[in-house]
Amino acid sequence: MDSASDIPSRVGADRPVIRLRPKGNVRAIRHGFPWVYADELVLDRRTTGLAPGTIARLEDAERRPLGTAALTPASRIAARLLDRDPEAVIDRAWLADRIGRALALRERLYPAPFYRLVHAEGDGLPGLVIDRFGDAAVIQPNAAWADRLLGEIVAALVEVTGARTVVKNGQGRARAAEGLPEETVVLEGSADAPVPVEMNRATYMADLTGGQKTGLYYDQRDNHAFAARLVAERADARVLDVFSHVGGFSLAALAAGAGHALAVDGSEPALALAAQGAEATGVADRFEARREDAFRALGALGDEGARFDLVVCDPPAFVPSKQALEQGLRAYERVARLAAPLVAPGGFLVLCSCSHAADLARFRTACGRGIGRAGRRGQLIQTGFAGPDHPSLPELGETAYLKALTFRLDG
């Protein structure tokens, strides 16, 4: 990993200049849009010869400064605006200031240090995600500049939060788009055991190095809470949590007083963590895990005539790109069609999507179609999104990648 001193052209006169084409969207950038697409940028031999992650001065076609940007010449997003000051010094102090601002917001929102600390563009750190787990943190440097400045990011993070353990999670499609390798590395401290995380009166176990994403889905916190309210203090309530991961919805429901929960997932390690969470929450006697393909499990439960007061399906992203939209929407419809018959009359069905490329309207239509094809009729009573520790920029348009639709089904 390069140190800050190894990174060329970071500040001052040595900083390279990158320039918009005449038809580049200057107004959008001046109004806060944080990206420059490849077809908007002059990508001549000099610019394409710069290393991915190079910090540069961004100018419009008339050579008027627009700010300080990070360049990735081979990416569709060729440049990411870091600061509107064209002379901004992107160093440890700058990073500590941005992380400090993000921390101040989270400390107003949550009583304990368990949350998404940095949410990329929404916190002025494009392509960088940091989840906090007490005195541990997991960093996802999903842009070349963040990967290149990782040492300075870690130092700033430790300075601001006092983190003792820092893990780099270098997995996912976003890194591939930036030409970055996949790797998971413990950079500071140790991460030998799952970290207990208390949320919504439940205790979840987060595997910071071997789990999905950063180990826990903080974005579903508020949706877990809403679903749990639907079965709270009901000792006879039965909950089905499909694509359960570490038991997000099922543990919250049990902690709220539901009588029984069945968690279904294809991952044995995830279900083992869910079982540990149930034990730590004190609800192990009401928790059951079933390792099986989710679609097969839904079909089998339907054949068995099983019925639940609350059914939740929180699948992985079925629409990873616009090219997969129609196929993915059919998958969401299939989930709804298989899940709806399992809901007891007057019960609730929660259907989730974490697909950026499937907007809310299309997702809602697919879910409604699936419910109808199952011979059920549903009232949409709640539309949930990611929590306030996942801020977004209005300039980016619809960024509600996470959508959670709650239906009350008739008899």
Q: Which residues form the catalytic set?
A: 354
Q: Residue 239: which H helix or E strand, with range?
A: strand 238-242
- What is the sign, positive or negative, of the torsion defined by CA atoms of 245, 249, 250, 251? positive
CA distances from 135 to 162, 163, 409 (A): 7, 5, 43
- Specify whether the CB–CB gap between 68 and 82 falls below 8 A: yes
Calculated CA dihedral for residues 258, 259, 264, 268, nearest 10 degrees? 100
Taken in order 183, 188, 189, 193, the sign of the CA dihedral is: negative
- How remote is the C-alpha of 403 from its chain's centroid? 12
Amino acid at 132: R
* 321 in Cβ contact with 251 (< 8 Å): no
- DSSP letters spanning 322-386: GGGHHHHHHHHHHHHHHHGGGEEEEEEEEEEE--TTS-HHHHHHHHHHHHHHTT--EEEEEEE--
Alpha carbon distance 382, 92 (integer Å): 42
Q: Is 235 exposed, middle or buried (0-12, 13-18, 19+ CB in 10 A)?
A: exposed
> What does the alpha-carbon distance between residue 286 and residue 365 come to, in Å, rounded to a whole number?
34
